Each structure stands twice: as structure tokens, then as C-alpha cells.
């Protein structure tokens, strides 16, 4: 094992901090354990006081059903139990044939007394892991906020359906126009249910810390965006707003996350509607150029405060009292992270333009 420790030393911050005498001490006082895939090395809530160094293989660190890290040769785990006597805060499962060195609390104390440099390395490792945990928590909270924002937008049409049903009670069922409106609203309810089902599924995946699988499908982007705009026209923020749509007179077929792209357009148009108010104008344009497709939402509102332009799509910002500012962050996630596209903002001849581009081969990730 001595030669294994020396081989791993250049790749391991912990082993790299030790001289040959310390490596020889580890070789004489440590116990090597072989593990098979599926074995549980550590269990959340356990009270074992021991630390492990991975010689070969790979292990998965997780808390409940949430993945925290994947560790490999030269990396250490379980250090906290030797410093803090509280129960284990996470479990460790073996992913492939693995061999580890086990340090008991007694061995740890004796070893560190003569190798303070190694203790500094362990404290640095613990600090990085704590920081990483905090970053993960922050991202998870932000993503849940994005989903809540999109859910709220999805629920808005329900108020329209409710108003229609109230009106329905005051009219005759034999009215042809009424029948057409009933069919339209029933279709709206069906799509709303599908959208909410997708969002709920993604919410559960986020809670489990799994990357939600976009609902990939092959579809006509012109038709999908036109369908979204048709539904938006009846929403309260669009009342009194002139909404136009320019698109090629031929299908633009993509294999992508249809619902995600429709949500992006919905966010951009609703933001524009709030900015322009009644009497304002919004133009949505869809253009195809070679291998890319670009969608633009242009409005004649007052524009974006220069102080927050740099934070658009990066951190939650909002100029509305009741807004969360999460919509644009969610849009960036859909366009750039899931589709490899680009989303941006510019001022064009006194008008505000939010746009996103997608590769024609936009296969949702």
C-alpha cells in the first residue's frame, strides 16, 4: 500500500501535504477495506467516528435522495465525524469496485499531532464543502422560485375561464357563438392542466435534486408561438395593448422543449405588457437565418433602468412592486442551459427589444 500512497500523492491534496515519514506511518497504522458497487460505506445518522481515504474506485455522497458529490481516488470523506461527534449528516454509496483506507478517531488524533500540515488541508477541504453546500442550497431555492413564478403565470387563465363560466350561466346553451367560446375555453383548460402537470413534475424533480427532463418533441415553432400569443391576448395585462406577430409563412420545425419555449415567450410578452400599459404596442417577430432561429419581443415602453441592465437574466430583478424578478432568470435557464441558445436585451431606435436565438437543431438537453 505504501507505493499506492506515493502514487496518489501528486493527485491528492491530503497525501501531497505529507512527507515520506508520514506516508510510512499511514501505511503501518491504516486498515484497507474493499467494497463492491451498491455497498453503503457511511449511513446518514450513523455514529461511527472514522475518516476514509479513497485508494481506487468511486463513491456517491448523498443526503436523503439528494446527491451532494461524487468522490474518487485521493479524496477523503468522513472528516467531520472526527471533529464533531454529532451523527453523520450524509450517506455514502459505492458506485464501482472501491478500496479505501479507514482512520479511527485514535489514529487520527495521533497522526495529526505530528502532521499539522495535513490538518490544515482537511480544514480547507471541509471549508470548500460547506461553501459548496451553501451554493447548492441557494441555487435550489432560486430554481424553486422560478417554477413558482411560471406556475403563477399558468394559473392566470383560470380567472378568465371563471369569468366565462359565470357568463355562461346567463346565456342560452343553443347560442352558436357561445358554443364556440365554450370549446375554446375547454381547450384552454386542457392545455393549462398539461402545463401545470409538467411544472409539478419538474418541481418534484428539483426537490429531489434531479435535473428535470424537458418534454422533447418535434413541432412547428411558428404554430407554437402563435398559439401562446392567442392565449395571452385575453389576459388582463394585454387589455388595451396592441399585440402583433410576424413569422415566416412556412413551418419552422424544431425538436425541443415546446412548453419551455412557450413559457419564455409568455414571460417576455407579459413583462412587455406591464411596461407599455393600455395603449402600448408589442411586436413579436420570428426570423430564421441559416442555422439559427431568432425570436424578438419589441415594445414601445420606457425601457429598462440602466442600473439593472447588467443583472438581467443573471440575478432576480424586478421593477414591479408585486414582481419576483425570477422570470428572466428562468428564461435564461430554458434558452441557454437547455437549448444551447442565447437570450439578451437591447435598445433599438427608442424601443425595447428582448430576444432569444436557438440553433435550428435545438435538441433540448
Predicted confidence (pLDDT) per residue in 136-158, tens digit = 666 666 666 666 666 666 666 66
Whole-angstrom distance, CA of residue 141 vs CA of residue 300: 34
CB-facing half-sphere around the CA of 248: CA atoms within 13 A: 14
Strands 242-246 and 216-220: unpaired
Whole-angstrom distance, CA of residue 192 vs CA of residue 176: 24
Q: Taking the model in full, what pTM does it have?
A: 0.49
200, 142, 192: which is closest to 330 by C-alpha?
142
Whole-angstrom distance, CA of residue 211 vs CA of residue 149: 18
CB < 8 Å & 24+ apart, contacts of 18-25: 18/115, 18/117, 18/118, 22/111, 22/114, 22/115, 22/118, 25/111, 25/114
Whole-angstrom distance, CA of residue 238 vs CA of residue 82: 61
Tell me what pLDDT residue 169 has.
55
CATH number for the region 2-114 comes to 2.60.120.10
Three-state DSSP state, 196: helix
Tell me what pLDDT residue 298 has.
97
60 within 8 A of 35, measured Cβ to Cβ: no
Topology at the third CATH level for domain 214-365: Heat Shock Protein 90 (3.30.565)
Burial of 72: CB neighbours in 10 Å, binned 0-12, 13-18, 19+? middle
Tell me what pLDDT residue 194 has.
67
Domain positions in the chain = 2-114, 137-213, 214-365
* 363 pLDDT more than 70: no
2 within 8 A of 30, measured Cβ to Cβ: no
46 within 8 A of 77, measured Cβ to Cβ: no
User: 71 - beta bridge partners?
Assistant: 59
* 168 pLDDT more than 70: no
Predicted confidence (pLDDT) per residue in 56-90, tens digit = 899 998 887 677 889 998 888 887 777 777 788 88
Q: What is the mean pLDDT of residues 32-59?
A: 89
CB-facing half-sphere around the CA of 324: CA atoms within 13 A: 19
90, 18, 15, 10: which is closest to 48 by C-alpha?
90
Three-state DSSP state, 181: helix
* 208 pLDDT more than 50: no
Q: How far apart are the first and last CA of the chain?
A: 43
Whole-angstrom distance, CA of residue 175 vs CA of residue 181: 10
Tell me what pLDDT residue 355 has.
96
- 321 pLDDT band, cuts 50/70/90, is very low
User: 61 - beta bridge partners?
Assistant: 69, 92
Cell of 40: 453503503
User: For the residues of 278-301, what is the DSSP string, one character each?
Assistant: TT-EEEEEEEEETTEEEEEEEE-S
Amino acid at each position: 500500500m505504501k507505493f499506492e500512497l506515493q502514487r496518489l500523492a501528486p493527485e491528492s491534496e491530503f497525501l501531497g501535504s505529507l512527507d515520506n515519514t508520514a506516508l510510512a506511518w499511514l501505511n503501518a497504522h491504516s486498515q484497507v477495506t474493499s467494497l463492491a458497487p451498491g455497498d453503503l460505506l457511511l449511513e446518514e445518522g450513523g455514529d461511527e467516528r472514522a475518516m476514509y481515504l479513497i485508494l481506487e474506485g468511486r463513491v456517491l455522497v448523498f443526503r436523503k435522495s439528494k446527491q451532494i458529490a461524487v468522490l474518487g481516488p485521493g479524496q477523503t470523506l468522513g472528516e467531520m465525524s472526527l471533529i464533531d461527534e454529532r451523527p453523520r449528516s450524509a450517506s455514502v454509496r459505492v458506485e464501482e469496485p472501491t478500496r479505501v483506507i479507514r482512520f479511527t478517531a485514535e489514529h487520527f488524533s495521533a497522526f495529526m499531532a505530528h502532521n499539522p500540515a495535513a490538518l490544515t488541508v482537511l480544514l480547507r477541504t471541509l471549508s470548500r464543502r460547506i461553501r459548496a453546500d451553501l451554493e447548492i442550497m441557494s441555487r435550489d431555492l432560486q430554481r424553486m422560485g422560478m417554477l413558482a413564478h411560471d406556475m403563477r403565470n399558468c394559473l392566470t387563465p383560470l380567472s378568465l375561464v371563471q369569468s366565462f363560466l359565470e357568463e355562461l350561466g346567463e346565456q342560452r346553451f343553443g347560442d352558436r357563438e357561445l358554443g364556440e367560446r365554450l370549446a375554446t375555453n375547454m381547450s384552454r383548460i386542457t392545455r393549462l392542466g398539461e402545463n401545470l402537470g409538467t411544472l409539478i413534475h419538474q418541481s418534484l424533480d428539483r426537490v429531489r435534486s434531479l435535473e428535470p427532463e424537458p418534454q422533447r418533441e418535434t413541432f412547428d415553432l411558428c404554430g407554437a408561438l402563435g398559439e401562446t400569443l392567442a392565449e395571452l391576448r385575453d389576459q388582463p395585462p394585454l387589455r388595451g395593448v396592441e399585440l402583433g406577430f410576424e413569422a415566416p409563412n412556412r413551418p419552422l420545425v424544431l425538436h425541443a422543449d415546446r412548453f419551455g419555449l412557450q413559457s419564455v415567450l409568455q414571460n417576455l410578452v407579459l413583462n412587455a405588457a406591464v411596461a407599455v400599459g393600455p395603449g402600448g404596442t408589442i411586436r413579436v417577430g420570428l426570423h430564421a437565418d441559416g442555422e439559427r432561429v431568432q425570436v424578438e419581443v419589441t415594445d414601445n415602453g420606457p425601457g429598462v433602468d440602466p442600473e439593472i441592465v447588467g443583472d438581467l437574466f443573471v440575478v432576480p430583478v424586478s421593477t414591479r412592486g408585486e414582481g419576483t424578478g425570477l422570470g428572466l432568470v428562468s428564461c435564461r435557464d430554458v434558452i441557454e442551459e437547455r437549448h444551447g441558445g442565447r437570450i439578451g436585451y437591447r435598445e433599438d431606435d427608442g424601443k425595447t427589444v428582448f430576444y432569444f436565438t436557438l440553433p435550428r437543431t435545438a435538441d433540448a438537453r
